[in-house]
Amino acid sequence: MATNTEKILSLITPMVKDIYTTPEELSSVLTMVYEEIMYESKPLKKMYQLTLFEGTDTYDLETMAMLGDQYETGISGSTITPQVVSDIDVVNLLKATSIPNMKPSISFTTESIVYKPIFICVDDIFNDGGYSVMDKFNHIYGHAYHVEDISFLKEYNDIPLYYVASVGIVLDDIEPSMLSQLMPVLIQGIKFYIYNDPVTKSSDVANNYQAMRFYKAKETFLNLYAQKVTLRQRSPRWL
């Protein structure tokens, strides 16, 4: 079965055949456009757990997320075992004298999740009551945050918090439903970068046309997904 990358390249190759590009160059442009869309649209969200400690006031949420992803497992298969029903059970069922247990048993097998999400940004941090505590975390750099409120650290010492992060995954791991929504954006993005000529002034009109089509396609895709997930519910704070 063809990968997502192969499907897109097979569609876009005939569309840009008037511009000489090698398969490697086209694949490189596809990767660049896909990463641009992922970072701008942030369509994928994931929740992680965060544990605070009274003696630690700085936390790198990306590093903690990566550690959690290493040990994440998912369901890889299931087995359905039907119940054995005897002739007597069938007779009793027909007579309505008793109802045998005919429910099958289901067992699941798990394995480590192969794909590793690309951490983009933190959307919100909240406690197990659903209250946002993001205002207690001061952004330092990258995805590192500092907690200045010592009383907050004492209150939540060794108590789990949770945070929602925008993440990205490699193109070939995208689900078919999202791929169908992404396809027009990827095609317009590739055509924009392939046909864009920053040197020749006479091509400004064509450049603007391609840029506008790419912008419109991105805008349509952005409107399908929440750019940031936040919990507006805040803990009551007394003055």
Q: Give the pLDDT of the chain (239 residues) as one tens digit per residue.
A: 889 999 999 999 998 888 888 899 999 999 999 999 999 999 899 999 999 999 899 999 999 898 877 766 555 556 676 666 666 766 666 666 666 666 666 765 655 555 678 899 999 999 988 899 999 999 999 999 999 999 999 999 999 999 999 999 999 999 999 999 999 999 999 999 988 765 555 566 667 888 899 999 999 998 888 776 766 555 444 43
Q: Is residue 93 part of a domain?
A: yes
Same-domain pairing of 62 and 132: yes
Task: Specify if 227 maps to a domain.
Answer: no
Q: What is the pLDDT of residue 207?
A: 72
Same structural domain, 34 and 106? no
Same domain, 108 and 118: no
Q: Within this chain, do residues 45 and 78 fall inside the same structural domain, yes or no?
A: no
- The distance in angstroms from the start CA to the end CA of the chain is 62
108 and 16 within one domain: no
φ, ψ (nearest 5 deg) of residue 43? -80, -20
Whether 194 is in a domain gets the answer yes
What's the domain range around 97?
74-112
The H or E element containing residue 59 is: strand 58-60
Residues 151 and 100 in one domain: no
27 and 9 Cβ atoms separated by less than 8 Å: yes
Q: What is the structure's pLDDT at 37?
A: 93
Q: Domain count for the chain, please give it.
A: 2
pLDDT on residue 2: 87
Last residue of a domain, one of 112, 137, 169: 112
Residue 25 lies in a domain: yes
121: β partners = 166
Q: Compute, in degrees rounded to 10, the torsion defined by CA atoms 221, 224, 227, 230.
A: -170
In the listed set 61, 84, 112, which residue is the last one of a domain according to the structure? 112
Q: Are residues 215 and 132 in the same domain?
A: yes
For residues 42 and 226, what is the distance between their CA atoms, to the nearest angstrom?
A: 8
